[in-house]
A and B are shown apart, each in its own frame.
Chain A
Amino acid sequence: MTDVTVIGAGVAGLCAAYAARKAGLSVRLIDRNGTPGPHGCSWWAGGMLAPFCEGAVAEPVIVAHGQHAAAFWAEVTEVVHCGSLVIALQRDRGDLDQFARRTTGHQRIDHLDTLEPDLAHHKSALYFKDEAHLDPRRALSDLVAALAAAGVQIEQAEATPDDIQGPVIDARGMAAALPGLRGVRGEMVVLRAPEIHLSRPVRLLHPRHPLYIVPRADGLFMLGATQIESTARRGVTARAVLELLSAAYALDPRFAEAELLETGADLRPAHADNVPRVTLSGRVLHLNGLFRHGYLMAPALAAQAITYLTQGTKGDLIHED
């Protein structure tokens, strides 16, 4: 008899299985597609652990819980603790001041020469020194490996909570089709630009095409991400690529010479307030609605779900059905 069954091996399900194992529970982990890959939206994430920046728009609960995500991930994968930068072009300087007013945990930098020399031509930036980033695909595979080491294998099978006896953590994202859950389309591209060196994620505030760039190993950069109220599952649109690339070009013209390696589009599952939550429904705990906060919020959701299962305590991310 298993203590808990987790359905869905995206970032939410993997974190939940990991937290359950750590709490000494026996765990089954089931996913209809097996190990993480392009079929799941976790695959397409940026991997920024940037709770303070997200606070410009997101609810305060994201800022509060997101601050602990980097420590969780550092247990299982490589986390780069170099902070993050927010930049605006000269003509959008007012947007930088506004972003500064609406966030905490930053300092104003007037010279980027030492911090990020490749961007020294930008005269003003906000530096969020306590933020971090990771490579999401590597984080997923490291988490799968950590689970395997703890005796949890991903079973490839179709399953819904009704098929399972005992406590279930349902982390299937869009496939769970929870009432009120909607898909928010996101599109990204991956470039190789060996000429350009960035040590940390950079956000470009742009009135029409806001952009973030996350550096990855081997001269790769992930550019993201559009946010469209649509559940269209088709590939990246030409418009999205144009917008992302022209914003990157505005940040550093050398991106024009980059090799375009990959494009991706998927749906972020989101609740009406865009806040991830654990929804209690009898013996089923739905971990869902991670929106654009998958890597940032999955650790906190997992922790609260497992605390509820083992101790019955309800944290602030737990909602009744």
Chain B
Amino acid sequence: MRDFYGTALANPLMLGTAQYPSPAVLEAAFRASGAAVATVSLRREAGQGQSFWQIIKGLGVPVLPNTAGCHSAREAITTAQMARELFETNWIKLEVIGHADTLQPDPFGLLQATEALAADGFEVFPYTTEDQVLAARLLDAGAKVLMPWGAPIGSGLGLNNRYGLRTLRAAFPDVPMVIDAGLGLPSHAADALEMGFDAVLLNTAVAQAGDPVAMARAFALAVQAGVVARRADPMAPRDMAKPSTPVLGKAWL
């Protein structure tokens, strides 16, 4: 498995910490998921969420703070600096939202913020689309990891543009990539890993399930299946049927 700025993860699951029924459920779901990274949003809690952040730190895994809800490079940079201080990490999941309805990334603001943060010593995980041109520019700007979306944030639609994601994966075979956003089901997570992505990041699919702990467990199993399947070198799909037993010599009735 490719590493993330020098950190190898024991498990390709990154789990968000928002929107759970309670911190107790969050903690139980987190343990059940076996997730190797906890993401946490800073924006709305600005400076005052100490007791909640203690719970996140207590999960005992690397924390990936994000700039969720930032609509400009400037906002995102300020949030990233705050996150670095609070969580004592250079990691930042960079979200610069370009459109309020689709929560689609703003490619221009994202590039600008990536450049500024990378120059300032941050290890940037840019939340991006499957656009290859943008991907190349983000890598040039100093990002060493990419986080292409599966589908719009919170939509639960899974991998919306399989062709785009597959070509992105193929275009940058050495770049660690995390499918972030839009995953609704464990099968979506397995799908992403089978396609060769290095990890998946999700939140709503677990937090808003009727039973978040059970769903976390389901995702744990799915990412395990996805990783094993990828390593096992899946068969190539074909258009024609190929019988698994010979037909020659059977009686023609």
A binding-site residues for B, Cβ under 8 Å: 57-59, 98, 101-102, 181-183, 185, 207, 228-232, 239, 270, 272-275
Query: Shortest Cβ distance from B95 into chain A, in angstroms?
Result: 15
Q: Is the interface of B mostly helix, strand, loop or mixed?
A: helix
B24 touches A207 (CB 8 A): no
B49 touches A231 (CB 8 A): yes
* Interface of chain B residues 42 through 88 with chain A (CB within 8 A): 44-52, 55
A272 touches B48 (CB 8 A): no
A273 touches B22 (CB 8 A): yes
B47 touches A182 (CB 8 A): no
Residues of B contacting A228 in the complex (Cβ-Cβ under 8 angstroms): 44-45
Is B23 close to A, CB under 8 A? Answer: yes
Query: Looking across the interface, which residue of chain A has its beta carbon closest to that of B52?
Result: A229
B154 touches A229 (CB 8 A): no
B binding-site residues for A, Cβ under 8 Å: 21-25, 27, 44-52, 55, 154, 210
CA distance A183 to B51 in the complex (A): 8
Query: Shortest Cβ distance from A181 into chain B, in angstroms?
Result: 8
Q: List 26 A-B contacts (CB under 8 A).
A: A58-B21, A59-B21, A59-B22, A98-B210, A182-B23, A182-B51, A185-B48, A228-B44, A228-B45, A229-B45, A229-B52, A230-B44, A230-B45, A230-B46, A230-B49, A231-B49, A231-B50, A231-B51, A232-B47, A232-B48, A272-B27, A273-B22, A274-B22, A274-B23, A274-B24, A275-B22
CA distance A57 to B212 in the complex (A): 11
One of B25, B49, B210 near A229 (C-beta < 8 A): B49
CA distance A275 to B210 in the complex (A): 18
A272 touches B24 (CB 8 A): yes
Known A57-B21, A239-B44; further 8 A-B contacts with Cβ < 8 A: A183-B51, A230-B44, A232-B46, A272-B23, A272-B55, A273-B24, A273-B25, A274-B22
Residues of A contacting B49 in the complex (Cβ-Cβ under 8 angstroms): 229-231
Query: Looking across the interface, which residue of chain A has its beta carbon closest to that of B45?
Result: A230
One of A183, A230, A274 near B21 (C-beta < 8 A): A274
Query: Looking across the interface, which residue of chain A has its beta carbon closest to that of B154?
Result: A207
Query: Looking across the interface, which residue of chain A has its beta carbon closest to that of B47?
Result: A232
A230 touches B48 (CB 8 A): yes
Scoring A98, A207, A230, A232 by chain B CB atoms within 10 A of each residue's CB, the highest score goes to A230
Query: Shortest Cβ distance from B152 into chain A, in angstroms?
Result: 11
4 A-B pairs with least C-beta separation: A182-B51, A273-B24, A232-B48, A229-B52
CA distance A143 to B177 in the complex (A): 59
Residues of B contacting A273 in the complex (Cβ-Cβ under 8 angstroms): 22-25
Residues of B contacting A181 in the complex (Cβ-Cβ under 8 angstroms): 51
CA distance A273 to B22 in the complex (A): 5
Residues of B contacting A98 in the complex (Cβ-Cβ under 8 angstroms): 210
Query: Looking across the interface, which residue of chain B has its beta carbon closest to that of A274?
Result: B22
Residues of A contacting B51 in the complex (Cβ-Cβ under 8 angstroms): 181-183, 231
B210 touches A101 (CB 8 A): yes
CA distance A231 to B49 in the complex (A): 6
Residues of B contacting A207 in the complex (Cβ-Cβ under 8 angstroms): 154
Residues of A contacting B25 in the complex (Cβ-Cβ under 8 angstroms): 273
CA distance A270 to B55 in the complex (A): 13
CA distance A58 to B25 in the complex (A): 11
Given contacts A102-B210, A272-B27, is CB(A231)–CB(B48) below 8 Å? yes
Residues of A contacting B46 in the complex (Cβ-Cβ under 8 angstroms): 230, 232
Query: Shortest Cβ distance from B252 into chain A, in angstroms?
Result: 52
Residues of B contacting A232 in the complex (Cβ-Cβ under 8 angstroms): 46-48
CA distance A273 to B48 in the complex (A): 20
Query: Shortest Cβ distance from B172 into chain A, in angstroms?
Result: 33
CA distance A232 to B46 in the complex (A): 9
Query: Shortest Cβ distance from A267 into chain B, in angstroms?
Result: 10
CA distance A167 to B32 in the complex (A): 41
Query: Shortest Cβ distance from A23 into chain B, in angstroms?
Result: 32
CA distance A183 to B52 in the complex (A): 9
Residues of B contacting A229 in the complex (Cβ-Cβ under 8 angstroms): 45, 49, 52
Residues of A contacting B22 in the complex (Cβ-Cβ under 8 angstroms): 59, 270, 272-275
Query: Shortest Cβ distance from A202 into chain B, in angstroms?
Result: 22
Scoring B21, B25, B51 by chain A CB atoms within 10 A of each residue's CB, the highest score goes to B51
Query: Shortest Cβ distance from A247 into chain B, in angstroms?
Result: 15
CA distance A182 to B210 in the complex (A): 24
